[in-house]
Structure 1
Amino acid sequence: MAQHNPGPQHQQWGPGRPQQPMPPAPPKKSGAGKIIGFGCLGVVAFFVVIGVIGAALGAGGDENAAKPPASSAPKEPGGEEGKGKGEEKPREEPEEEAPAPIRITAETTDFRPTILTNGEEHTSVLVTVVNNSAEKVDVNPLYFDVTAADGSKYDVELAADERQIDTVELAKGEKVTGTVTVKGKIEPKTVTFTNGLFGDSVRADVG
């Protein structure tokens, strides 16, 4: 008997039930996609870290740049450095002059005659001699002369006034006071003292 090859078998559905297609399976994510995703995140994180470090370094550099070097001083108009507008120059104290080696002072005084004047008129001047030098100074009434207001010069009369200046030798820092007297009634203006016969002369106004 001849066998017949049956045709393709079709699934039979029940009456009234339409044929529903099978839902497609979800695509599988490949491992390469995951690696690429993580790689992108790593690059982004790397640039973020670099940006943070750069910002920190930039802030530090700005702070250091804002501070002027310690050795530099601001310049004021006029070209002078380190001088504020309100600063004043230190006042220079005047240097003290060294005292003169010999100093004399003179002032008017009354005449006190001795018995040797015989009633004649005289004029006396009270003088003080101070030795400021390291050398000794010889004082003698004959080492003085008196100049009047009219310019006339008078020699000293010895033993005329009872307070006549002594003949002494002054060491450094010593002084002597006494009168020098001239004959006549005059208006004394200056007194001149000579240190020895050939020494330096010192003049003082009569006060």
Structure 2
Amino acid sequence: MSYQQPQQPGWGQQPPPPKKGKTGKILGFGCLGIVGLFVLVGIVAVAAGGDEDSTKPPAAAVDAKPGKAEDAKVDAPREELAKKAPVTVTARTVDFKKSILAQGEDYTSVQVTITNNSKNDLDINPLYVTITDTNGSKHTAELGVDEDQLDTVSLAPGENVTGTITGKGKFDAKYVTYTDGLIGDSVRGNVS
């Protein structure tokens, strides 16, 4: 008689694979759908914004009253029309006033006045203003290098603020651009 050992259960057999649920797929497609929705909303917002020059007044303001009033507005200087815009920016060159944070004298300063003509508060920050030179190069604000730097404030309707924006290097400033927030509408002001 031969002796055989009994085989233990499970030896040589693979356990059945676990059943996969559909929950993971549903969550994955749900998250993908939300991301897709945000992308779609962003595309629609950019398309609706267009690339209008924000220093121009809205067309409704110019076309509101036909007749003689319209003729007067057509003949009015662009500066008067720009004053009716929600935000106006004026700028002029000024001498650089070195602060203790400046390293050297190689800076260009522009005095900027921003006026809030809208009905809402307006956040102002030196980082929201850039200087473009006569060569077309854009210069960002160097913080703390000029004694008269533009303050970070919230302007109520009708208020304005004046301060300098300073760029690194020596250049001839052509215009400044204020952007409402980091990605909002932009308004230009020519440097005089």
State the one-letter code of the partner of 1:124. S
In 2, distance between residues paired with 1:133 and 1:205?
A: 21
Residue matched to 2:186 = 201
- Partner of residue 95 from structure 2, selected from 89, 102, 110: 110
Residue matched to 2:85 = 100
Select the structure of larger CA radius of gyration: 1
- Partner of residue 138 from structure 2, selected from 153, 160, 168: 153
Residue matched to 2:116 = 131
- Within a 5 Å distance, the mapping from 1:180-195 to structure 2 comes to 180-195=165-180
The structure that is helix-richer by fraction is 2
State the one-letter code of the partner of 1:150. N
Residue matched to 2:62 = none
- Per the TM alignment, residue 199 of structure 1 is displaced from its structure 2 partner at its CA by 1.3
Please state whether the residue corresponding to 2:88 is helix, strand or coil: strand
In 2, distance between residues paired with 1:157 and 1:118?
A: 11
- Within a 5 Å distance, the mapping from 1:68-87 to structure 2 comes to none
List gaps (5 residues or longer) in structure 2: 1-66
Q: How many residues align?
A: 117
Please state whether the residue corresponding to 1:142 is helix, strand or coil: helix
The CA RMSD measured in Å over matched residues stands at 1.6
- Per the TM alignment, residue 118 of structure 1 is displaced from its structure 2 partner at its CA by 2.4
Residue matched to 1:32 = none
Please state whether the residue corresponding to 2:188 is helix, strand or coil: strand
Please state whether the residue corresponding to 2:167 is helix, strand or coil: strand
State the one-letter code of the partner of 2:118. S
State the one-letter code of the partner of 2:148. R
- Partner of residue 121 from structure 1, selected from 97, 101, 106: 106
- Within a 5 Å distance, the mapping from 1:17-28 to structure 2 comes to none
Paired-residue identity, %: 51
1:171 aligns with 2:147: no
- Per the TM alignment, residue 198 of structure 1 is displaced from its structure 2 partner at its CA by 2.0
Q: TM-score, normalised by structure 1?
A: 0.54
List gaps (5 residues or longer) in structure 1: 1-90
Please state whether the residue corresponding to 1:199 is helix, strand or coil: coil
